[in-house]
Structure 1
């Protein structure tokens, strides 16, 4: 062995090299532990629970729901939608609904984007939902913009709130 090689292994450079290597190994170990904790905790999110673990639900059956029509009365645009709402609850629940009409606002048909739903028959914004399938006709009303054309014939992005 050469004297230079021996000094490198036993001298100051070797000690510095070992210390910096230990710091890197410690940093890598901590990073690995944090990564493992993050990966294993993702499986515990509420969104990943099955229906039986999460409890009963109220949701829209999009296969049986559709946008029906829209019309303009005075300075208001009225959108009519027919929903089939399924409740897996054991008792009746009251809900409110909102529809997001972003494309129609951007296209100039209406001036507001987020609209509250009202019952076509009663005009109330609270809907009583019974266990099983519920069919309701909903009206969304917004101030009329500058255009006369609806952007599409799809249901709005709809949110349900239990109250």
Structure 2
């Protein structure tokens, strides 16, 4: 399982917008330069984030993007699903049937149980993380995320 480029860059763009404190927001060219991404790719990802209700665009010459809601209310699990979907979904078995119409293990599949367990664990962990938790400097965010992980394993 891998984090896709769209998930990585989309989350980085959302963080960049969340860290930007000017009222008019941050522009696509500024995000593009700061993140080392093409303006077209930034535009694509900001469109996804805007349609999903995470950011708003501010009009005008000095316009840009701002968070649509407080960073503390933006759930990272939901953002990741908007950007790339769940690691595992029920449709997964339909998509990976091999050369057959139905998966040969569709009735008794211990692998499906593994994927479901991994998805549940990831969901439970990421549901506890907000954008605000990631806006802090790395050292501070790391400590916060470690404490969330420790609470999860108790």
Q: Which range, TM-score by smaller chain?
A: under 0.3
- Name the TM-score, length of structure 2 as normaliser: 0.18
More helix by share: 2
Bigger Cα Rg: 1
More strand by share: 1
- Name the TM-score, length of structure 1 as normaliser: 0.18
